[in-house]
Amino acid sequence: MTRMKYREALNAALREEMERDPLVFIIGEGIGKRGGSFKVTENLLAQFGEDRVIETPLSEASFIGLGGGAAIAGTRPVVEMLFVDFMYLTMDQVANQIAKYNFMTGGQVKVPVVIRTQGGIGNGLAGQHSQSLEAIFYHIPGLQVVMPSTPYDAKGLLKTAIRDDNPVIFIEHKQLYLTEGEVPEEDYLIPFGQAEIKRPGKDVTILTYSFMTLECLKAAEILKEQGVDAEVIDLRTLVPLDEECILKSVKKTGHLVVVHEAWKRGGVGGDIISTVIEKAFYSLEAPARRIAGKNTTVPFNKNLEKLCVPSVADIVNGVIEVING
């Protein structure tokens, strides 16, 4: 095992897959000499050259379309979108072309493109650079949605994404890039649709993903001091969703809390709770709870920014309310 930062794990995944398969190449804004704004593509230009590390102009719809077309033509592009907020500019390409092409050709044409992007709050980047938009992509058939929380998961899931024959929206969180963790030195993959129990427990199920996984684990330790044994499950992939793991945990604990940074209204948490109600309603001993971002534009001020998303205290208080019925 090697200890590395989240961004280093992503870099290693890209490097290893580009070494393994000459059809893999990366494109995006500032990914070459700069190594990307978050340093995920650092040193890749020197190793692979300009033919496989391709700088793009500030024209998001065009290079997302390029990535989709290149995938249809038989290569395996990894497109970096600097902020998930900019994906709004590409939605015709993503939703009407990339996501549907395999279906509309009767399965004859694969679209193995990975769109790497990042979202969430952090560093006071304001409303147009701090959003959590995973629910949009979660809603669109044909897209897989991946949101890793640790360096180990980031590397294993990105390698899986690059080898997958279907389009993947791979969303990183800006507050995770400098976090550290253990990563195997040997090659490994993490299958899509397999959630991970980050902390076993018997009293309540906390479902979460991305940066909120770290916050939920902190909350679980505080809850332990208050006599509540929380099971924290990191979904890792939203599409496909590991319903089996979710339902098994809920049937064990009888209580469910879903935590995500994205806006509560129309969020992934509501859909997950609906699934549990449809398939395991009688296992619930109390109403399920969503702990999510406030339905507001993220402000520039850092103190106000923090108030827009769940805190550790919010998670603890929400779980206690669910436990107490």
Token readout for 277 is 């109600």
Sign of CA dihedral 5, 7, 11, 13: positive
Domain definitions of the chain by residue range:
2-183, 196-323
Euclidean distance between CA atoms 271 and 266, whole angstroms: 8
**What is the pLDDT, as a whole number, of residue 123?**
85
289-293 sheet: strands from edge to edge:
196-199, 230-234, 204-208, 256-263, 289-293
Please tell me the pTM assigned to this model: 0.97
**What is the pLDDT, as a whole number, of residue 325?**
80
Nearest to 152 by CA among 218, 199, 198, 116: 198
Percent of the chain past pLDDT 90, that is, above it, reads 99
CATH 3.60.15.10 for the 2-183 domain, yes or no: no
**What is the pLDDT, as a whole number, of residue 205?**
98
Please list the active-site residues. Answer: 129
CATH number assigned to the domain with residue range 196-323, chosen from the 4 options 3.40.50.1000, 3.40.50.300, 3.20.20.70, 3.40.50.920: 3.40.50.920
pLDDT in tens, 10-47: 999 999 999 999 999 999 999 999 999 999 999 999 99
Q: What SS3 state is found at 134?
A: helix
Per CATH, 2-183 and 196-323 having the same topology is answered yes
Where do the H-state alpha helices sit in the chain? 6-20, 44-48, 60-72, 91, 101-104, 134-138, 151-163, 212-225, 243-253, 268-280, 302-307, 312-323
pLDDT in tens, 220-229: 999 999 999 9
